[in-house]
């Protein structure tokens, strides 16, 4: 570790691993460290033992007992878990549950980098929206609109013409613009042109374009139209009745996959470095390196070489130190919090046609809130829990001093809950773009249920590290050409 | 060896095979010898190879190995659980000229057993058998250990001379369950295959 790298990356969250993979593939010499003994940082999927260790340390440690008998009592704890929930290894519980849009940016990056070869995916089975106490399948196309019980007859026809417009819209072909300039017109104005009712606007904005609140209404309509198009294209890509896909064994496979990509291209990986710390040049304010205790630098060296024992080592970075905000406390601030409930069930979520994996959106206005509440259900079919089990996540942006109460509308949809872990995560963001400081910091994971904002942050971090743009549209064209 | 695709008369198994073992034990060299018949005295740590594939035929049954390399992530004990996911077989490699390498091999066996995959075929390979006079790990000790841990296969190999390398992979192919499986991880309903042809099956909207 005692040498110079092009970039040193701290934290093995999805964003950091994505960047590590892309940079390594371009020839950057990367050192990647994590304070935890597992991959994924904030975006890890934890097994049952790790989950209890994190959320119920008292149960975990009492079972583990004193130092001396720890091996023995760890076995006892494993047995206890097994009796109640099956094998602890069979659980992979997301800390930041999200779905992937089938035609979204993350899928493009997976294919571009070849990481799709390491991870298997299954489609999600359903996408629902909550209205007046009931769940409805989300209509996304002109044909869906005509069938949907969400709308009355005349509204159906209006929604249908809106969907036809969106489906046909092509930024580069003026004849599809129908005389609208979506760069200057707001979403509010476009909806008005089609005479859409408030309830229709609600599901388009929240269940299709996946906005978490109403601010988008007064921004240029192009963003909303593109977001709806992405939903439609994702729906059409796999023909599974849902635009979402989700990895087997949980989202934690994604950072692992990109870390492997980085390693395959020469990246060096070190987990379990609790004291990893950024070193700064006090005069210039630049990040210059990272220090961490190395157990034994001779691991992997030849026989007979003397073991040096633990020692603190510093590695230097030529271009930048990259990492999640937790490694840069002086350059990050809290910008919000997300409340999440992880629930274990023994049955599918109620009223979603027994779907094994499902996304439900509860628009804010339906439950008197400013932010939507999201429910995400998954099961053993995606290898995230023991056979016969189901997991459900309820999450939202925190608005009040009683965040757990804010999840109630989502929790009430689940039916009987066997086990519930609630956690409130602060969302941290960098206070600087980090170019001057050579410290490129990611934003925390927001409450959105998909990865579009995640990938955009990575693309921006890439620009801040390298000074160039990573053009995904270019990538897609190139890939198609080489196939 | 055979390249035949899903022939009607031949059943085919696709099997993910992972290699484990200390740095310098010869994991990559074994794979390179098996897949390409090559050996390099100073094999660089493999750059840019995610995994290699090789097909073997045992009694009219075709096994397509998808062989994963550690990509160096074992060096600081940072192998991801993903590495073991869906593996049908694992080869634990040690350098018979190194006690340290042998001790590490045993801890890899424990690590694998901790993953709790009962169907995993585990093979133990004592590599570098071409210079037996430098041996630091006796065949008897390794054999006894393999038996005690109920490992499926133990062989001494040399990636340099090629000794027993093919035997190693053929023995594994032999021990795998015979029934042809779908790609191990993609089975079941709703499995999707990602590729670059995004949106190819996109439906054009039609007027009704």
Q: What is the pLDDT of residues B30-46, one digit of tens each?
A: 999 999 888 887 766 66
Residues in contact with B92: Cβ distance below 8 Å, sequence separation at least 6, in sequence order: B19, B20, B21, B105, B108, B109, B112, B122, B123, B124, B125
Cα(A125)–Cα(A144) distance, integer angstroms: 16
* Nearest CB to A245; choose among B72, B136, B192: B192
104-143 of B, contacting A, C-beta below 8 A: 115-116, 136
Helices (H) and strands (E) in chain A, counts: 15, 19
Fold of A138-238: Guanine Nucleotide Dissociation Inhibitor; domain 1 (1.10.405)
Q: What does the mean pLDDT of chain B come to?
A: 82
CB contact, 8 Å: B49 with chain A? yes
Q: Look at residues A273, A223, A229 and name the one whose alpha carbon lies nearest to residue A11.
A: A273
* Nearest CB to B71; choose among A120, A121, A260: A260
Segments in chain A below pLDDT 50: 298-303, 476-483
- pLDDT at residue B200 in the model: 43
Of chain B, the percentage scoring pLDDT greater than 70 comes to 79
Q: With a cut of 50, say whether residue B53 has pLDDT above it.
A: yes
- pLDDT at residue A65 in the model: 54
- pLDDT at residue B207 in the model: 38
Is residue B190 situated within a structural domain?
A: no
Among chain A residues, the shortest Cα distance to B45 is held by A266
Report chain A residues whose CB lies below 8 A from the CB of B84.
none
- pLDDT at residue A374 in the model: 95
> pLDDT tens digits, residue range A153-196?
999 999 999 999 999 999 999 999 999 999 999 999 999 999 99
CB contact, 8 Å: B47 with chain A? yes
CB contact, 8 Å: B103 with chain A? no
Determine, for residues A123 and B192 on separate chains, whether the beta-carbon distance falls below 8 Å.
yes
Phi, psi of B144 (to 5 degrees): -65, -40
Phi, psi of B65 (to 5 degrees): -80, 135
What's the CATH number of domain A332-430, 1.20.120.1770, 3.30.70.2860, 3.30.519.10, 3.30.1330.20?
3.30.519.10
Is residue B57 situated within a structural domain?
A: yes
Structure token digits, residue A324:
């999640």
Domain that holds residue B145: 11-175
- Over residues B139-166, the mean pLDDT reads 95
Q: What is the CATH number of the domain that holds B37?
A: 3.40.50.300
- CATH 1.10.405.10 spans which residues of chain A? 138-238
- The interface predicted TM-score of the complex, written ipTM, equals 0.84
- pTM for this model (two decimals): 0.90
Is residue B89 situated within a structural domain?
A: yes
Report chain A residues whose CB lies below 8 A from the CB of B49.
264
Determine, for residues B199 and A237 on separate chains, whether the beta-carbon distance falls below 8 Å.
yes
Among chain B residues, the shortest Cα distance to A144 is held by B205
> For chains A and B, what is the number of CB pairs under 8 angstroms?
142
Determine, for residues A272 and B81 on separate chains, whether the beta-carbon distance falls below 8 Å.
no
Q: Hey, of A122, A254, A296, which one would you mutate to test binding to chain B, going by the most B CBs within 10 A of its CB?
A: A122
DSSP 8-state class, residue A220:
B
SS3 B46: coil
Strands A134-137 and A126-131: antiparallel
In chain B, the number of structural domains is 1
Is residue B125 situated within a structural domain?
A: yes
Please give the full DSSP string across B135-187, using - where no structure is assigned.
Answer: --S-HHHHHHHHHHTT-SEEEE--TTT-TTHHHHHHHHHHHS-SS--S-TTT-
Q: Hey, of A92, A169, A260, which one would you mutate to test binding to chain B, going by the most B CBs within 10 A of its CB?
A: A260
Report chain A residues whose CB lies below 8 A from the CB of B97.
303
């Amino acid at each position: 570790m005692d040498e110079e790298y092009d970039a040193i990356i701290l934290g093995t969250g999805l964003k950091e691993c994505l960047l590590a993979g892309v940079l390594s593939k371009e020839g950057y010499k990367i050192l990647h460290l994590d304070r935890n003994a597992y991959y994924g940082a904030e975006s890890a999927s934890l097994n049952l033992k790790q989950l209890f260790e994190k959320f119920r340390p008292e149960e975990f440690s009492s079972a583990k007992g004193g130092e001396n008998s720890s091996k023995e009592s760890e076995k006892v704890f494993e047995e206890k878990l097994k009796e109640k929930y099956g094998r602890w290894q069979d659980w992979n519980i997301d800390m930041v549950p999200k779905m992937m849009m089938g035609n979204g940016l993350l899928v493009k990056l997976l294919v571009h980098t070849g990481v799709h070869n390491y991870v298997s995916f299954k489609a999600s089975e359903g996408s629902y929206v909550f209205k007046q106490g009931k769940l409805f399948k989300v209509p996304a196309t002109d044909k869906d609109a005509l069938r949907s019980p969400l709308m009355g007859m005349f509204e159906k026809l209006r929604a249908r013409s809106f969907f036809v417009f969106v489906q046909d819209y092509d930024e580069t072909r003026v004849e599809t613009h129908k005389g609208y300039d979506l760069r200057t017109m707001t979403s509010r104005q476009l909806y008005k042109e089609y005479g859409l009712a408030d309830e229709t606007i609600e599901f388009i904005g929240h269940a299709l374009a996946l906005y978490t609140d109403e601010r988008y209404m007064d921004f240029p309509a192009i963003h909303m139209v593109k977001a709806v198009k992405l939903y439609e294209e994702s729906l059409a890509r796999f023909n599974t009745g849902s635009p979402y896909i989700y990895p087997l064994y949980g989202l934690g496979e994604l950072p692992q996959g990109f870390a492997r990509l980085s390693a395959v291209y020469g990246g060096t990986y070190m987990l379990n470095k609790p004291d990893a710390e950024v070193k700064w040049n006090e005069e210039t304010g630049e990040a210059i390196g990272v220090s961490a205790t190395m157990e034994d630098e001779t691991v992997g060296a030849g026989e007979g070489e003397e073991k040096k024992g633990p020692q603190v080592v510093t590695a230097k970075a030529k271009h930048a130190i990259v990492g999640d905000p937790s490694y840069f406390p002086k350059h990050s601030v809290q910008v919000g919090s997300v409340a999440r409930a992880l629930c274990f069930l023994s049955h599918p979520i109620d009223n979603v046609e027994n779907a094994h994996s499902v996304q439900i959106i509860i628009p804010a206005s339906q439950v008197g809130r400013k932010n939507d509440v999201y429910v995400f259900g998954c099961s053993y079919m995606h290898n995230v829990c023991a056979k016969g089990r189901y997991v459900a996540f309820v999450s939202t942006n925190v608005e009040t001093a009683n965040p757990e109460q804010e999840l109630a509308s989502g929790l009430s949809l689940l039916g009987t809950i066997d086990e519930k872990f609630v956690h409130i995560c602060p969302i941290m963001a960098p206070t600087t773009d980090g170019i001057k400081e050579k410290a490129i910091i990611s934003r925390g994971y927001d409450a959105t249920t998909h990865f579009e904002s995640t990938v955009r942050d990575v693309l921006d971090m890439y620009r801040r590290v390298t000074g160039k743009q990573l053009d995904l549209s270019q990538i897609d064209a190139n890939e198609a050409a080489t196939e | 060896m055979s390249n035949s695709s899903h022939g009607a008369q031949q059943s085919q198994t696709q099997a993910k095979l992972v290699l484990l073992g200390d740095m310098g034990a010869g994991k990559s060299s074994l794979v390179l010898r098996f897949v390409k018949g090559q050996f390099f005295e100073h094999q660089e740590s493999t750059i840019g190879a995610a995994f290699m594939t090789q097909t073997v035929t045992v009694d009219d049954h075709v096994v397509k190995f998808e062989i994963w390399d550690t990509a160096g992530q074992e060096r600081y004990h940072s192998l991801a659980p993903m590495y073991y996911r869906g593996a049908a077989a694992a080869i634990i490699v040690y350098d018979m000229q190194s006690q340290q390498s042998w001790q590490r091999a045993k801890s890899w066996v424990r690590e694998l057993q901790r993953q709790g995959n009962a169907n995993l075929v585990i093979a133990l390979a004592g590599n570098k058998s071409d210079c037996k006079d430098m041996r630091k790990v006796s065949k008897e000790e390794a054999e006894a250990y393999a038996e005690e841990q109920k490992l499926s296969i133990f062989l001494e190999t040399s990636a340099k001379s090629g000794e027993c390398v093919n035997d190693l992979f053929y023995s594994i192919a032999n021990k795998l369950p015979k029934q042809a499986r779908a790609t191990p991880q993609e089975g079941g309903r709703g499995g999707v295959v990602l590729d670059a042809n995004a949106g190819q099956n996109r439906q054009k909207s039609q007027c009704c």
